[in-house]
C-alpha cells in the first residue's frame, strides 16, 4: 500500500498525449506523478486527498510563445499565466530576449529599439549572459517553470552599433554566433527571430541560416515571427522552410496568422506549404485564439488594421484604451508625428478573419500559445490572461473546433515534445507533477479587450512540480518553478 503526498481521486484524466479521457485517481509524491489508476480501490493513502469528481485533470499547459522574460522575475506569481493553468512558459520570442545583452552597450539611446521595448526599459536589459539571467531566476524563483529562447534582435542590438538597416557583417555574425552558442550551453532551447521588426527586417535570409546552423548540434529550435504575415505570407512561409532546410534546425512558425482583409484566405496556401514541407523537415507552428494582433505601435502594422487601440504609451498613459485614429484627429498631426509622440507605445490591431483563425487552429498539431504582452501600466491584449481557457471553453466546448483531448495535447504534450521538455506535458508515472484541475463545463476566458486583466473561470487548482500554486482565483504564494530546457532538465 502506498502513501502519496497528494491523491486526486475520481477525476477525468486527459493525459496530454491526445488519447481518450479516462476516469482515474492520480497519486503524486514530491515533484512527480507516482501512479495513475484505481488507486483508492487498491487502498492508496495520502497526506492530502482532493476529490476530482466532475473535474478534468490535465498536464499543466506549456505556453511556448511568451514575452514573460521580465514578468517571471518581477511578478513571481506570474498570475496572467498561472491563472490559466499554465505551468511552463517559453520566453524570448519574436527576436527579443532580455539575455544575453551587455548592459550599457547602447549607452546614449534613451529607450530600447522597436520590439526590445516590449520587454522593458534599458534597466531591465542587465544580463550579459543567459547564465546571469538563470542566476537571477534562481535567486527569485517564479511560481512556474521557465525555458528561454535567445532573441536575434537582442543579439543584433549587442553587436550592430550604427544601424539595423543592413545585413550583419561576417564578424558580427561570428560574434552573435558565439553569444548564441554560449546561451545554448547555458540551457537556451533555441533562437527566435522577429523579421517583421525594424531591428531585423534588413537581415537577409543567409544571416539567419548562419545563426540557425548553430542550433542543430544542441538539438535546439529555430522559432520565427516571420518577415510578413499579410501580402507576402506565403513567401514568408517559404523563406522559413528554406531556413529550416539549410540550417537543419527544427523550426516553429510563431503566431501563424493572416493579417489584412485583402489577404484573408492566404492561409489555405500557407498551410499547404507547411504540410508539404513537414514530409521532410521538422516544422510546427503556434497560434493564439483571437482576431486582433498586438505589438508595438508601428506604421507598417497600421496599414492592415481596421481598428487600432492603444494598449500602452510611456509619454501618454492617459490615452491608453483610445483608438489611434481618434488621437491623430484630435492632435491634428500626421500619423508619423502621432507615433513619435506616443512611443514607446503598444497597440491592439483588429486585422484577422475568424474563419481563418479557426482553420489555422484546426490544422493537425497546431500548438496553442498566448503571445501575451505583460505591461506595467496599460491595457494588454486579453490573450495574456485568456488564451488557454478560451480555447478549452469557447473553441472546444462551445464551438467544437477541437476535441478536449486534442486541445489539451496542443497545450501540453505537443509543445513539450517540440521544445524537448523531458517528462513534462503528460500525465503518467514518473512525469513531473505539473497539473491543472479544471471544470470542463465552466472553463472560460473572462479577459476582454475592455477588462483584459481578469482571471479565467473554471480553473480549480494548478500544481507545479507537485506544489499547489493557484487555487480559489488566487496565487498560493508558492514558488516551485524551475529552469527547464534540454540542457538543464
Residues engaged in binding Cu ion (CB under 5 A):
93-94, 371
Q: How far is the CB of 204 from Zn ion (least distance, A)?
A: 20
Among 56, 73, 94, 396, binds Zn ion (CB under 5 A): 94
CA distances in angstroms from 32 to 235, 253, 437, listed in the order given: 45, 32, 16
Pick between residue 37 and residue 198 the one whose CB is nearest to Zn ion: 198
C-alpha R_g of the chain: 22
Among 225, 256, 266, 461, binds Zn ion (CB under 5 A): 225
Size of the chain in residues: 489
Pick between residue 89 and residue 209 the one whose CB is nearest to Cu ion: 89
Q: How far is the CB of 254 from Zn ion (least distance, A)?
A: 5
Q: How far is the CB of 116 from Zn ion (least distance, A)?
A: 13
Q: Are 229 and 197 in contact (CB under 8 A)?
A: no
Pick between residue 215 and residue 287 the one whose CB is nearest to Zn ion: 287
Pick between residue 134 and residue 263 the one whose CB is nearest to Zn ion: 263
Binding part of the chain for Zn ion, among 223-231, 339-347, 443-451, 459-467 by CB under 5 A, reads: 223-231
Query: Which partner from the list Zn ion, Cu ion, none does 406 bind, CB cut-off 5 to 8 Å by kind?
Result: none
Q: How far is the CB of 372 from Cu ion (least distance, A)?
A: 9
Q: How far is the CB of 198 from Zn ion (least distance, A)?
A: 14
For residue 389 the three cell numbers come to: 481557457
Pick between residue 25 and residue 371 the one whose CB is nearest to Cu ion: 371
Q: Are 399 and 312 in contact (CB under 8 A)?
A: no
Q: How far is the CB of 194 from Zn ion (least distance, A)?
A: 6
CA separation for the pair 397, 409 (Å, rounded):
15
Collapsing DSSP to helix, strand or coil, 423 comes out as coil
Site string for Zn ion, 290-329 (x = CB under 5 A): ----------------------------------------
Residues facing 206 on adjacent strands: none
CA separation for the pair 402, 382 (Å, rounded):
21
Binding part of the chain for Zn ion, among 69-77, 93-101, 198-206, 442-450 by CB under 5 A, reads: 93-101
CA separation for the pair 315, 310 (Å, rounded):
12
* Residue 476 CB partners (closer than 8 Å, separation 6+): 468, 469, 470
Residue 243's H or E segment, with its range, is: helix 233-247
Query: Which partner from the list Cu ion, Zn ion, none does 134 bind, CB cut-off 5 to 8 Å by kind?
Result: none
CA separation for the pair 469, 467 (Å, rounded):
6
CA distances in angstroms from 52 to 24, 48, 158, listed in the order given: 9, 12, 50
User: Could you tell me how many residues of this chain bind Zn ion (CB under 5 A)?
Assistant: 2
Pick between residue 225 and residue 461 the one whose CB is nearest to Zn ion: 225
Q: Which residues of this chain interact with Zn ion, rule CB under 5 A?
A: 94, 225
Amino acid at each position: 500500500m502506498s502513501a502519496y503526498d497528494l491523491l486526486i481521486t475520481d477525476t477525468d484524466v486527459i493525459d496530454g498525449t491526445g488519447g481518450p479521457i479516462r476516469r482515474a485517481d492520480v497519486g503524486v509524491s514530491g515533484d512527480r506523478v507516482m501512479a495513475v489508476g484505481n488507486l483508492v480501490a487498491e487502498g492508496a493513502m495520502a497526506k492530502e486527498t482532493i476529490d476530482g469528481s466532475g473535474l478534468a485533470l490535465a498536464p499543466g499547459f506549456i505556453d511556448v510563445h511568451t514575452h514573460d522574460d521580465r514578468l517571471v522575475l518581477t511578478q513571481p506569481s506570474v498570475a496572467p499565466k498561472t491563472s490559466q493553468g499554465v505551468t511552463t512558459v517559453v520566453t524570448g520570442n519574436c527576436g527579443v530576449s532580455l539575455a544575453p545583452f551587455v548592459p550599457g552597450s547602447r549607452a546614449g539611446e534613451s529607450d530600447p529599439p522597436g520590439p526590445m521595448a516590449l520587454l522593458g526599459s534599458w534597466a531591465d536589459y542587465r544580463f550579459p549572459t543567459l547564465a546571469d539571467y538563470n542566476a537571477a531566476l534562481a535567486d527569485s524563483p517564479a511560481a512556474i517553470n521557465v525555458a528561454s529562447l535567445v532573441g536575434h534582435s537582442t543579439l543584433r542590438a549587442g553587436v550592430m552599433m550604427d544601424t539595423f538597416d543592413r545585413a550583419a557583417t561576417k564578424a558580427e555574425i561570428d560574434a552573435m554566433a558565439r553569444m548564441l552558442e554560449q546561451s545554448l550551453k547555458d540551457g537556451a532551447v533555441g533562437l527566435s527571430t522577429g523579421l517583421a521588426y525594424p531591428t531585423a527586417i534588413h537581415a537577409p535570409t543567409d544571416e539567419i541560416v548562419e545563426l540557425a546552423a548553430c542550433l542543430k548540434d544542441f538539438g535546439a529550435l529555430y522559432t520565427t515571427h516571420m518577415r510578413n504575415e499579410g501580402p507576402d505570407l506565403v513567401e514568408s512561409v517559404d523563406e522559413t522552410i528554406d531556413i529550416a532546410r539549410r540550417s537543419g534546425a527544427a523550426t516553429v512558425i510563431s503566431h501563424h496568422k493572416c493579417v489584412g482583409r485583402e489577404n484573408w484566405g492566404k492561409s489555405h496556401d500557407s498551410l499547404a506549404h507547411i504540410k508539404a514541407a513537414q514530409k521532410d523537415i521538422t516544422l510546427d507552428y503556434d497560434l493564439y485564439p483571437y482576431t486582433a494582433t498586438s505589438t508595438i505601435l508601428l506604421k507598417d502594422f497600421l496599414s492592415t488594421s481596421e481598428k487600432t487601440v492603444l494598449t500602452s504609451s510611456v509619454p501618454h498613459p492617459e490615452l491608453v484604451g483610445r483608438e489611434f485614429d481618434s488621437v491623430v484627429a484630435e492632435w491634428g498631426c500626421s500619423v508619423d508625428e502621432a507615433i513619435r509622440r506616443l512611443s514607446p507605445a503598444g497597440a491592439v490591431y483588429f486585422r484577422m478573419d475568424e474563419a481563418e483563425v479557426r482553420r489555422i487552429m484546426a490544422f493537425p498539431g497546431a500548438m496553442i500559445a498566448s503571445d501575451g504582452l505583460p505591461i506595467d501600466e496599460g491595457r494588454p491584449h486579453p490573450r495574456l490572461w485568456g488564451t488557454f481557457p478560451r480555447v478549452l471553453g469557447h473553441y472546444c466546448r462551445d464551438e467544437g473546433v477541437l476535441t478536449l483531448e486534442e486541445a489539451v495535447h496542443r497545450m501540453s504534450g505537443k509543445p513539450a515534445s517540440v521544445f524537448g521538455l523531458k517528462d513534462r506535458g503528460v500525465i503518467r508515472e514518473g512525469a513531473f507533477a505539473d497539473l491543472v484541475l479544471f471544470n470542463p463545463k465552466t472553463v472560460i476566458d473572462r479577459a476582454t479587450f475592455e477588462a483584459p486583466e481578469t482571471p479565467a473561470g473554471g480553473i480549480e487548482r494548478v500544481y507545479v512540480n507537485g506544489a499547489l500554486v493557484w487555487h480559489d482565483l488566487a496565487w498560493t504564494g508558492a514558488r516551485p518553478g524551475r529552469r527547464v530546457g534540454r540542457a538543464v532538465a
